[in-house]
């Protein structure tokens, strides 16, 4: 199964494409969609939307997984990220794909085995699971790969199969 993981943001939207089969996964592609900081916000959303459409067409994923939003201290930033996440979801929907959402704690649990793992622990385990010599940059791409791994583990679990 080819899985596209997405870490949404309006400055940087990370993505990672993995191939997962029989409990093994390998990285096919990763990177980030970026937008300039001084640009009009609606223009930034347009860039994210158009680039996501191109990515979906090129990557041809079987499944898409995206991180759910976590509103911390800065609600204003959270609103912008929510809008970016919305245009990403629209592009996915228009591509005819279903999307699965995961909370940060679910990603940590699936990748590390501990829901309160640190960012470094998640990145280290992601690197190990994929047999990478170094963690991909930027961090948003690394996070997106972890989201894809989370989906690979969640979607192939016995509980997920029973629910289908």
What is the CATH class of 2-163? alpha beta
pLDDT at 1 over 50: yes
Q: What are phi and psi of 70, to 5 degrees?
A: -125, 115
Instruction: State both tokens at 47.
Output: 């860039």
Instruction: State both tokens at 145.
Output: 């790969």
Q: Which residues are catalytic?
A: 7, 67, 140
pLDDT at 164 over 60: no
Please indicate whether residue 163 or residue 133 has the higher confidence score (pLDDT).
133
Q: For 6-37, write each residue's pLDDT tens digit.
A: 999 999 999 999 999 988 999 999 999 999 99
Instruction: State both tokens at 82.
Output: 């929510």
What residues contact 74, with CB distance under 8 A and at least 6 apart?
A: none
Tell me the pLDDT band of 69, cut-offs 50, 70 and 90. confident
What residues contact 153, with CB distance under 8 A and at least 6 apart?
A: 110, 111
Tell me the pLDDT band of 71, cut-offs 50, 70 and 90. low
Please give the distance of CA 46 from its chain centroid, rounded to a whole number. 19
The pLDDT, as a whole number, for residue 155 is: 76
Strand spans (E) along the chain = 2-7, 12-21, 24-34, 63-67, 99-102
Q: For 111-162, write each residue's pLDDT tens digit.
A: 999 999 999 999 999 999 999 999 889 999 999 999 999 999 987 654 454 4
The pLDDT, as a whole number, for residue 73 is: 64
The pLDDT, as a whole number, for residue 156 is: 62
- What's the mean pLDDT in 36-43? 96
- What's the mean pLDDT in 58-63? 98
Tell me the pLDDT band of 77, cut-offs 50, 70 and 90. confident
Per-domain boundaries in the chain = 2-163
pLDDT at 72 over 90: no
């Amino acid at each position: 199964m080819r899985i596209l993981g997405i870490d949404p943001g309006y400055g940087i939207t990370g993505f990672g494409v993995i191939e997962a089969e029989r409990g093994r996964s390998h990285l096919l592609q990763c990177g980030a969609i970026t937008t300039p900081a001084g640009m009009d916000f609606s223009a930034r959303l347009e860039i994210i939307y158009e680039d996501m459409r191109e990515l979906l067409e090129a990557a041809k994923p079987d499944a898409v997984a995206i991180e759910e939003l976590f509103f911390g201290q800065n609600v204003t930033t959270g609103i912008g990220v929510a809008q970016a996440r919305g245009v990403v979801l629209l592009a996915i929907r228009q591509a005819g794909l279903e999307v699965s959402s995961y909370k940060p704690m679910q990603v940590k649990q699936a990748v590390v085995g501990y829901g309160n793992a640190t960012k470094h622990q998640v990145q280290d385990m992601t690197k190990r699971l994929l047999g990478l010599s170094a963690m991909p940059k930027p961090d948003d791409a690394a996070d997106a790969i972890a989201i894809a791994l989370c989906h690979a583990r969640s979607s192939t679990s016995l509980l997920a199969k029973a629910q289908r």
